Chain A
């Protein structure tokens, strides 16, 4: 390959034409349009509530706070897998008449039919 290509041609390739520069600029514009909304949402997620309501957040967090994330991680319904796991392990003992029996794990009710319909 190298032998076939002449030297001036190689030099020509390295230099960018104005068309290519304009094209790159237009493409970057498209890329920005496609990515800036994500940047904005991330910035908003790390900003304080008052800053968001004022409309002060654009692409960088204003009055940095992680309260939103703390709230999410405290809310257990955010993690359906955890809840499902809890239901799965608990459901065998759900139909038991007494909590004592549940704790002792000697509950006679273990078939699916005996469970309340919400567990099934």
Chain B
């Protein structure tokens, strides 16, 4: 039976599993329409784009847009800020969910565990606009709860400029990011930990491993591939940065610290209708992101880990 099907070719499989292929077609069509077709618009990065003439009518000018953008002072600043903020996010935001997931997994009280999980997921469901409002409220000088209570306790003499000093702003940015994503990030690790073979833990226990040793030698190696995949994806996103978070937490006082590529594109490209230049930056961002993700994947394969492809 098997041999006969194979001789008839792969078409036989399609015929047999056509329902599965039909289901596969839906996301494929989605990708074609919403991810690949818009790529045609990237052409305007190389054009002196005129909205009224359209893509076919605009003049082709090669790399002129890229040259212009790379010379802008704000572009250098925003590029640096993007990389730095993402790096800080990776350093502090990436390990925290792993730690929390392990802690949650070790909890024996099911009620308390479920309660804490629900509470930890809470910040994820707020939009950045709401979080931005809360951040401005909580970190405000004098009236903000953090500054007010620290002053009251006598721990500080004057207000900490959480939002108005460049370095402090970076700290606030990362802190808020970790706060927002820590709970939600645990889900995938918890799933990975739950999938581990319970016999391994029992064997380790019998061998006399204490809790920390069990975590170090069983849990962490068990979720290693999950961690690596997520790390690769995070490194691939190093160049891209969400628009809302820096835009909403940032303010004009710390302009040189909070201006990132996405806000720069919005400010310089879209509000000034410089669509061609905005597209050029976007294309540059995507290409660098692609290079980064390829490097990260190759490195992880060098270390005998499974990559994402």
Contacts and interface: CB of A to CB of B under 8 A. Distances in A.
Interface of A: 16, 19-20, 23-24, 26-28, 30-31, 33-35, 37-38, 40-41, 44, 52-59
B148 A31 contact: no
Report, nearest first, the 4 A-B pairs whose CB atoms are least far apart.
A55-B148, A31-B119, A27-B116, A55-B143
B211 A19 contact: yes
A24 B148 contact: no
Contact of A57 (B103, B145, B147, B179): B145
Contact of A30 (B100, B133, B145, B211): B100
Interface in B97-123: 100, 103-104, 106-109, 112-113, 115-116, 119-120, 122-123
B134 interface: yes
A38 B103 contact: no
B116 A23 contact: no
A19 B211 CA distance: 9
A34 B179 contact: yes
Contacts of B145: 40, 44, 55, 57-59
28 contacts: A23-B106, A24-B112, A27-B104, A30-B116, A30-B120, A30-B182, A31-B115, A31-B120, A33-B179, A34-B122, A34-B183, A35-B119, A35-B122, A37-B123, A37-B134, A38-B134, A40-B137, A40-B145, A41-B133, A41-B134, A41-B137, A53-B142, A54-B143, A55-B144, A55-B152, A57-B145, A58-B145, A58-B149
B93 to A, nearest CB: 14
B151 interface: yes
Contacts of A30: 100, 116, 120, 182
Interface size grouping (class) on chain B = 20 to 34
Label chain B's interface by main secondary structure. Answer: helix
B138 interface: yes
Contacts of B120: 30-31, 34
B66 to A, nearest CB: 37
A53 B101 CA distance: 39
Interface of B: 100, 103-104, 106-109, 112-113, 115-116, 119-120, 122-123, 133-134, 137-138, 142-145, 147-149, 151-152, 179, 182-183, 211
A38 B147 CA distance: 17
Given A24-B112, A56-B148, A34 B119 contact: yes
B179 A58 contact: no
B123 to A, nearest CB: 6
Nearest to B142: A55
B183 A37 contact: no
Contacts of A54: 143
A41 B140 CA distance: 12
Contacts of A34: 119-120, 122-123, 179, 182-183
Given A24-B107, A27-B103, A41-B137, A53 B119 contact: no
Nearest to A31: B119
Which of A26, A27, A33 has the largest number of chain B CB atoms within 10 A? Answer: A27
Contacts of A28: 116
Contacts of B137: 40-41, 44
Contacts of A24: 107, 109, 112
A11 to B, nearest CB: 15
Contacts of B152: 55
Given A30-B100, A55-B143, A58-B148, A23 B107 contact: yes
